[in-house]
Structure 1
Amino acid sequence: MKKNMINKFTLKVLSLIIAILIWLLVRNVDDPIVVRTFYEIPVSIENASYFAENLEIPLLVDGKDTVKVRVKGARSVVSKLKKEDIKAVADMTQIISKDTTPIMVPVEVTGTGISDSDITVRPRNIQVDIEKQKSVEKTIAVSTGDTQPDKDYEIGNLKANPEKVTISGPETIINKIDKVVALIDVTGRKESNIEIKSQLKIYDKNLDELSPKQLEYLNIKEISDNTIRIQAQFWKVKQNVKIKAEYSGEPKRGYEVDSINLVPDTISVAGTDEALKKLEQEGNTLEIPGKYIDVTDKTGDFEQNIDLSELLPEDLKLVRDLNSSVIATVKILPYNSRDYEVSVTQIEADNKAEDLDLVFQDEQITIRAKAKEQDLDSLSAANIQVQIDLNGYGEGEYEVPVTVTLPGGYELVESIKVKVKLVPGAEK
């Protein structure tokens, strides 16, 4: 009886073992153990503060900052793994020795759903460089890139908050930093005042943006998530603003200022509501002060280039793509003289070659005549005779002297020339 019970127990144990073996066999067929290799897994530094006491920072060496990881496990688990599921860490507290060159640190790797014993890493140790920590202070430049506000508005003021930052990190990276920029998108904006979030971008001296790897080593004080706020103002545009000019000084004795012509004589500006209202009260006119056009001891015409951006108050600005230069042409005439505009159609051409046609390059010429002041009003362009002598001129472009005949009592102040072109005539 006892022997029979032992046999039954033995059969039960044997049956259990066989069942387990069958289960393992089935499981291995349906979900076998596989090995998978992941390449270029980035290594991150842990416990970098281990060097903080000596104001030092550990850096991974470019090109040697990744490892190869081999993972073993059930196919159902391993096949679903992504590179992002595998973390490789170099713990600075585990440095093998600070006295070796290079300094090596063990790499610890973990994977989602994988036991440590099923993970193999190559290389097992990774090189680090130890650098001195350095800080630099930079102002923040605000850039709108290629974006533009609404067509009837201009960017008024852009102010970063904070306006400057202190960046600390490894000396080699800090020495590369050239500028810090906050880039914002202002497409279609027209609000008078708005706050816009922006992420900082840091550029090196080659105007290349620092890589994400380089940025990981940097610490920007008092800024979280590398994000700041930009206070932006957009100003309304006012078109057809007139320009007038004053002058200072006196021409040489016997001469006077006849006129000042401005090119352009109207512009478009943008400004705050208060500035545009004040401009409207002034007749929508900007005045160039006399100090910019000095006629002291002048005896002839001259040009003066004036930068309008220097004249505008802080709450006004020129619209985008508008040249800030204004050219003032100042006419200086002798007393009792005046300019008369004569059409080139009045010019008589003598001795022109018969096989050539005459083309004038300008539409009119300016005749400067002198007479008694009361007689100047009586003279008109129609009373002035003008002619040119084309004897000896062949095909080409020329400046030809103009013979001017004035009525009695009038005197020509200065000689003039006219630009002409002689071209082959049409066959008859």
Structure 2
Amino acid sequence: MNKGILSRIFSNKLFLIILSVVISLTIWISINMGDFAETSYSVSNIPITIDLPDTASSQGLKVFNNDELKGTVTVSGNRSIIGNLTSDDIEIVPEQTDNLTSAGSYTLSLVAKKKSSSLNYTIESVSPSTVYIKLDRNRNVTKKIEQNISYTIPKDYYGTVLLDNESVTISGPETEIKKIDKVVVEGNVKEELKSSVTNEYDVKLLDSFGEEIKTNDTLTISPSKVKATVSVLQKKDVNVELSTVNGPSGIDLTKYCKIEPNSISLGADSSNIENITKVNIEPIDFSTLRNKDYKINKNLDIPNKCVDINSVNSVVVNMDLSSMEKKTITLTDFDIKGLDKKYSANVTTQSVEVTLYGTKSALKNIDENDIDAVIDFTGTEVSAGSRTMPLSLTLKDKDGCWIYGSYEVVVEIS
């Protein structure tokens, strides 16, 4: 066929119209035949759903797994149908769950199911074909954190480790929770410290053999990290000194008392430690003491911003007052203080026998004129009638002795 004939054919409008129709029809048939062609297709990221039987749920059992359970399903069918399938159209479930009745580990065979029966396609296979699960009760426990932070400091310094959280809450399978013996944070500060430093550490779970228990996503720890501060303080040894109330003046009580221990080690930052020269004990009330031997336990009054390095906390005070003398003085003169002017008071108690203890020389010349006896109504709600009031007794510039006991008088208010 020469070029002239071809030219006449393609210049024929009717021929071109017929040719266009034939080509379009061919393309349309090809496309539609492809849509209805049988093919296979894989749908991935399908959640594996495990519904426990009532016998398991009633026991509080649940599924624990290291990873989120998902699978892939291979299907076959018309391209137009399976090409539009997503993970929402198919479910993967265990073939059987009746045997899930107690805590333990199980391997379950899996099957895939259509969520809609109106779609015409065939499920060919499921991957994975089985799944391994742990069935257990969920349990929450709170445990104290033990620290094992190593560090070095100069010998005249004191260091201690402080955690920003003292305990953690652990949640997970009951059988795994029971394996936990202790909770620790471990670390090492390499440089020598003269000041405090803070670092963050992972919380670790240890079993009774000291081996770390891996959480493997089945155990959750809150918080999973803690900050540990190595608090570094300067160290200083100071004396423990006696403190008293209602005690005798003019006597060196150290001759009669022995404190054990008589010194302790304190820790404080350098700006505070320089001003600290001693530690007092809680005051001993001499109004409760007579001429005998005493062994008294007293807490230490630790200064603010200081640490009792060795946690002594308290001391024993051995007091030998057996050499002191006793004297009784009769008081008949009582002063009234703090009574509203609209009232008058009459002390109906005629006299009070007051006991004193002290050195022989101190007691020799003391009499009732050396003692102030005051009935103080300050801050007391007053009404007419008879009432008992405490009697406040004070020695007037007398050394070497003290007043023993507490006293009361009866006062008539009008």
TM bucket normalised to smaller: 0.3 to 0.5
Find the structure with the greater CA-based Rg.
2
Between structures 1 and 2, the one with greater helix share: 1
Instruction: Report the TM-score, using the length of structure 1 for normalisation.
Output: 0.42
